[in-house]
């Protein structure tokens, strides 16, 4: 979802990502979500994980953290480093 925002430079209306999760079924997915995030509510992430688990053959790697929205939050930063390491390991150490 966030990548789509970057590509289009704005929110799209309506956002129906949950209705289209089947398009993501062959894409590995990682998520770090702060439970104190006031910008991206945790309920949205929980709903996405639930929808992905219904169609995704590789369950998303979702981490719900005692953190807020900022990537500079130490807990969030550690999670982002962890998922990057997992991604690199999955891809043989490189992209």
Long-range contacts of 55-58 (CB under 8 A, 24+ apart): 55/21, 55/22, 55/24, 55/25, 56/21, 56/24, 56/25, 56/29, 57/25, 57/26, 58/28, 58/29
Question: 51: which 2 tokens?
Answer: 């929808």
**Who wins on pLDDT, 3 or 25?**
25
**pLDDT tens column, 4-63:** 666 666 666 656 778 888 888 788 889 999 999 988 889 989 998 998 888 866 678 999
Residue 80, SS3? helix
The secondary element (H helix, E strand) that includes residue 74 is: helix 74-90
pTM: 0.76
């Amino acid at each position: 979802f966030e990548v789509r925002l970057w590509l289009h430079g704005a929110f799209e209306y309506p956002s129906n990502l949950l209705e289209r999760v089947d398009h993501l079924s062959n894409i590995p997915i990682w998520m770090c979500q702060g439970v104190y995030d006031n910008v991206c509510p945790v309920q949205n992430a929980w709903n996405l994980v639930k929808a992905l688990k219904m169609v995704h053959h590789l369950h998303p790697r979702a981490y719900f953290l005692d953190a807020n929205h900022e990537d500079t939050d130490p807990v969030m930063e550690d999670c982002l480093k962890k998922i990057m390491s997992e991604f690199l390991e999955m891809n043989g150490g490189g992209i």
